[in-house]
Amino acid sequence: MAFTADRDQTLGFTTRQLHAGYNPDGDTYGSKAVPIYQSACYSLKDIDNCIDVFKFAKEGQSYSRFENPTNDVLERRIASLEGGVRAVSFGSGMAAITNTILNLCRAGDNIVLVKTIYGGTTSLLTGILPQYGITGKFVSNPDDPEAFRAQIDEHTKAIYVECLGNPLINVPDFEALSAVAHDAGIPLVIDNTFATPYLFRPFEHGADIVVYSATKYLCGHGTTIGGLVVEKGGFLWLNGKFPQFEAFNQKYRDWVGAEKMDREMFSQRLRQVYLCDVGANLSPVSAWLILQGIETLSLRMREHCKNAQAVAEFLEQHPAVRSVSYPGLKSSRYHALAQKYFPLGCSGMMMFRVNGSQADAASLLEKVHLFGFMVNVGDAKSLITHPATSTHFGQPKEVLEGAGIYPDSIRLSIGIEDKEDLIADLKQALDTLV
């Protein structure tokens, strides 16, 4: 009676979120819960084993900055849920994104992206990486795939978008962007943080690499910072545009094995070059907390979506509300794309504008009693923030408006509380503005 649910990709999503990547029979004590391996290093056993581990010919543990057994379960679980060949975990979403870009680009290269993107990613590509010769090229109209094509030049190494733009909750046309990227011989990278693999399957719509802030819905309880990178497999890194992969392949191909190298070259280099030597590894305790969150991912996402749809519909008809950005609303200009790409719902993230001043909008933060005034998102508990004075504080007006943020904009992360309570809390606060 062998347990096979750890590696059975035919099982349903909810079954795999509980079992993929971990077999209790493989643990010394048969532990049903994934054990936390809080150890810096591991026995190398004998010299042959040591050499095999260090040339990556063999999967195995040596030092927890390179690989850790608890993190390994998390990596296998997300790869299974995403339908990818391999994943690498990092200490934060920003570390996952930074290392992904470093793996793609060398000095002189650029990434084509949109303005409606997480603030940290914007800073990375406008302020930090440009000092090392890697730049972001922003498209003017994110709704037009041809605007992406127009920005691509011979040094462009990826198109980068978020599944649901932050904080405008816009929906890119992923399949069209994938075609533009692949025409240019470059990958499409998607930050799938807001949707999670339960609501959106980037690899089924042309993405090559998926990145996550696991801090948000994957962990789900606002307890832990973490990041993940997942590789679809099959992208031709040896197409002449990525000399760093040519060199890596030459050095490691025989050691790693040709088949594995061809299957997961991006992840192999991401781990061996960046995770191992730059060092932004996830703590195994954090990996465990994220695994704990993933066990209930589908159940939570269904509640987030149901609640958010009800809140968005309530906001849309309230006289103190000027407009609501939530692609689940029929009035949203992204509704058709949302129905195509997000058939199970549009997550718990939304933004709305109040009829009034910045002071009126900001006053809501102090009038709510149930929502937490905090910048996190994707928590089981509902959160509210005013982007212009927090997540996007100090950015010039053009940048703010490019991201769809106005002084009267409020962002909500709708939790899984009883929706009647959420609506009543927003109603009593909004009623004071009428």
Residues forming contacts to ligand PLP in the complex (CB under 6 A) are 92-94, 118, 120, 162, 166, 191, 193-194, 213, 215-216, 225, 227, 377
Separation between Cα atoms, residue 275 and residue 125, nearest integer Å: 20
DSSP state string for 315-363: HHT-TTEEEEE-TTSTTSTTHHHHHHH-TT---SEEEEEESS-HHHHHH
> Is the CB of 53 or the CB of 400 nearer to ligand PLP?
400
Q: How far is the CB of 202 from ligand PLP (least distance, A)?
A: 13
Minimum distance between the CB of residue 29 and ligand PLP, rounded to whole angstroms? Answer: 32
Phi, psi of 267 (to 5 degrees): -70, -40
- Best CA proximity match to 296, nearest among 372, 221, 236: 221
Nearer to ligand PLP, 70 or 413 (CB): 413
Complex with ligand PLP: residue 158 or 225, whichever CB lies closer = 225
User: Which tokens in the block code for residue 333?
Assistant: 């200009």
Amino acid identity at 391:
T
Rounded to whole angstroms, the Cα distance separating 217 from 227 reads 12
Nearer to ligand PLP, 200 or 237 (CB): 200
What minimum distance in Å lies between the beta carbon of 57 and ligand PLP?
Answer: 33
Considering the complex, state which of residue 193 and residue 395 has its C-beta at the smaller distance from ligand PLP.
Answer: 193
Nearer to ligand PLP, 84 or 227 (CB): 227
135-138 vs 110-113, strand pairing mode: parallel
Task: Give residues with Cβ within 8 angstroms of 250, minimum separation 6.
Answer: none
- Minimal distance, residue 212 CB to ligand PLP, in Å: 8
Report the residue number, 249 or 395, with the smaller CB distance to ligand PLP: 395
Rounded to whole angstroms, the Cα distance separating 254 from 233 reads: 19
> 212 vs 117, 263, 278, CA distance in Å?
13, 21, 19
- Signed CA dihedral, 180, 86, 244, 214: sign only: positive
Shortest approach of ligand PLP to residue 209 CB, angstroms?
14
Q: How far is the CB of 251 from ligand PLP (least distance, A)?
A: 31
CB of 411 to ligand PLP, least distance (A): 11
Amino acid at site 392: H
